[in-house]
Amino acid sequence: MNTKIKFLGHEFKNPIIPASGCYGFGYEFSDLYDINILGSISLKGTTLEPRYGNPLPRIAECPAGLINSIGLQNPGVDKVISEEIPKLSKVYDDLVIANVGGHSVYEYVETVKKFNSCDKVFAIELNISCPNVEGGGMAFGVDPDTAYNLVKKVKKVAKKPIIVKLSPNVTDIVAMARAVEAAGADAISLINTLVGMRISLRTGDPIIAVKKGGYSGPGILPVAIRMVYEVSHNVNIPVIGMGGVTNAYEVLEMMYAGASLVMIGAENLVNPYACRDIINDLPSAMNEYHIENLEDIIGRCK
């Protein structure tokens, strides 16, 4: 069984990548298993300056997932490059994907510039679900024109492929995808979290300190598959699928929908061995459905 995937000129040993925000900077998991089995790693969201993140509590459990509102907590791009990535390099041999967030075009552009010189980083994933300060608070990821402008400016300075991570909290996901493609995006990843909320019956107050957060986990899988399908069939750039994936069979389903690679998110928080288990189970799942080469099934669902 051949699990190798070619993506943006780089060959991945398999399509499994821990999603940004659910795997830290990767090296923490090396105490549990050999993380070199991973196709790649999407690093924790990184901003220009250090961020403490949102006030506690930040997590609320749900019947089919969880809500989080971490608020881009990270040590800032300089420390990520000088400290976090070198730690990862000691235990992981392959190239990784940096994930960049920000509240203004300037923040995104300057952070991407810094990653240009980081040899360990193969590509940069833009999290465009952050509020846009310059646009009066609207998130970059919910308005096609705003997203286009951001990606266009980032592409002018980027020396690495740019993957744009799309928010599902939009009326027309295809319009968003076409906008970032037109701006020069090299690939698209989706979906980011849905917006959710839980309320404490004891206090009557929201469980999350900032009231709402990103809902992820198995409950969003059907939404993710639908959006991956719609986007992959309406753009001419590759797609990375994510959202609620918990096992090897769902990886195949994502790839049928049109995903070239598949990111595993919230399942890592439930089962820290999730990525390892999925990679180990892929060959048998492929055999069960008479799949010899994973690349052959990308976009099989028409």
Clarify whether 130 is annotated catalytic. yes
pLDDT digits (tens, 9 = 90+) for 63-110: 999 999 988 899 999 999 999 999 999 999 999 999 999 999 999 999
**Marked catalytic residue, from 22, 62, 118, 130:** 130
pLDDT digits (tens, 9 = 90+) for 117-160: 999 999 999 999 876 666 655 689 999 999 999 999 999 999 99
pLDDT digits (tens, 9 = 90+) for 97-115: 999 999 999 999 999 999 9
Q: Is the pTM of this model over 0.85?
A: yes
Domain spans, the chain: 5-297
pLDDT of residue 71: 86
3-state SS record for the chain: CECCEEECCEEECCCEEECCCCCCCCHHHHHCCCHHHCCCCECCCECCCCECCCCCCCEEEECCEEEECCCCCECCHHHHHHHHHHHHHCCCCCCEEEEECCCCHHHHHHHHHHHCCCCCEEEEEEECCCECHHHCCCEHHHCHHHHHHHHHHHHHHCCCCEEEECCCCCCCHHHHHHHHHHCCCCEEEECCCEEECCECCCCCCECCCCCCEEEECHHHHHHHHHHHHHHHCCCCCCEEEECCCCCHHHHHHHHHHCCCEEEECCHHHHCCCHHHHHHHHHHHHHHHCCCCEHHHHCCCCC
Q: What CATH topology corresponds to 5-297?
A: TIM Barrel (3.20.20)
